[in-house]
A and B are shown apart, each in its own frame.
Chain A
């Protein structure tokens, strides 16, 4: 453990609720260990605020090990701080120097209404998922593991897309507030695998429809999403979604296809 501690200047977005006016407020946080995670640093600040009888900063967090996708915030203008393949909770204070000023804003997009301070409602992502990001499987005994042959490169590609944790960094960093990388990852993952294939046209149509309804923007291929995705998901998955959607729009008929049983 390093014994050197830091003092940092923070500018944090404070906003009581969705209706209230918000603004960046200056804070000074002392005794920050370089071994702390970014969220622990905010915890320290919140403890100081509580001791002073002030309202602590509201921010989302859960697993704190980089897999749940809750810790949404823009650190110095970059989602999750903009470090390669890193979520906010995995950003450590050793990346900063004593006396640094850090600006922290919530994820912003039309589809992500603000709740309080740094906490936003990313429920739109769940709604897109609910409209098609699943497969229908029959109940009963688990099938034999090797009964369904999937080539390794295909399985790997599906896994790359499945790495998405739905954190919303792609939406927050997109200059158009689009959810295409998130949606592309799911549509692509399931279209690659035989388990997802039967429903893939309906999935593509429904998920895109829901995405458009929820106020997400349109992709114009800036690739800012790919640059900030903490799971390193490629925009190749957006391309696969575009293909899947095009195919579905011109070949899919509700009557011709019946998935699952009664």
Chain B
């Protein structure tokens, strides 16, 4: 029987699921912040570079935030991998198709696949932009990195833009299930408001996926 409740939480099915839910929602929040920054690309090179420079000059604070983000992302990933391995073992191996058509959705069934796409995307994304080509520019007499040029240069390639848009579709599909699912897992499901949570999840998925894809296509059209 259970004696140490908190210790049990981090080992149990529900406890680990709730950690996936919370880290997932935090990542959803991060995406909104990231997208807001991306929209500055539309405002021109100076606005975007100034914003990137402000972030970079946070110094140790930025490293702390980045470490936190990495921790959230890696826990989300590690817990989800373990959960999926357990579930693959636990499920019944049927000869026939067992879908009712009233439960699972395309998004709910493809969570591991869209998740893996996003992992690969994230690694490539960091390599090609954050740690990508380095140019310098001066805005208002201050020397700073010209991330605007790096970004436009990257999206000049139709392959890069196409891959980016595909990854953002995966992000939209992933969050379209994940957002509302996180609420259910945390126990925030009541007949009174859960329909609206589901709607909000859908709006979020379309807004975030569409927003990132839109900016990338805009960059591609603009050219170097």
Contact = CB atoms under 8 A, between A and B. Distances in A.
On whether the two chains bind one another, the answer is yes
B92 A107 contact: yes
Interface string A115-146: 00000000000000001000000000000000
B151 to A, nearest CB: 35
Nearest to B100: A227
Interface residues of A, number: 64
Nearest to B15: A249
Nearest to A13: B95
Nearest to A247: B187
A222 B87 contact: no
Contacts of A240: 187
Interface in B34-54: none
A175 B14 contact: no
B9 interface: yes
A212 B12 contact: yes
Interface in A82-116: 82, 103, 105, 107-112
Interface string B187-207: 111110010000000000000
Interface stretch (B66-74, B102-110, B160-168): B102-110
B222 interface: no
B74 to A, nearest CB: 19
Contacts of B213: none
Contacts of A206: 1-2
A189 interface: no
A181 to B, nearest CB: 11
Contacts of B93: 108
A249 B9 contact: yes
Contacts of A131: 1
Contacts of A66: none
Interface of B: 1-3, 5-6, 8-9, 11-18, 83, 86-87, 89-105, 108-109, 111, 177, 180-181, 184-191, 194
Interface of A: 13, 24, 74, 76-78, 82, 103, 105, 107-112, 131, 172-178, 180, 201-202, 205-206, 208-209, 211-212, 215-228, 235-236, 238-246, 248-254
The 9 closest A-B pairs by CB, nearest first: A108-B92, A243-B187, A217-B90, A224-B103, A239-B189, A177-B90, A227-B102, A249-B9, A176-B87
16 contacts: A74-B96, A76-B96, A105-B94, A112-B92, A206-B1, A212-B11, A215-B90, A217-B89, A219-B13, A221-B184, A223-B104, A226-B103, A228-B100, A241-B14, A249-B5, A249-B15
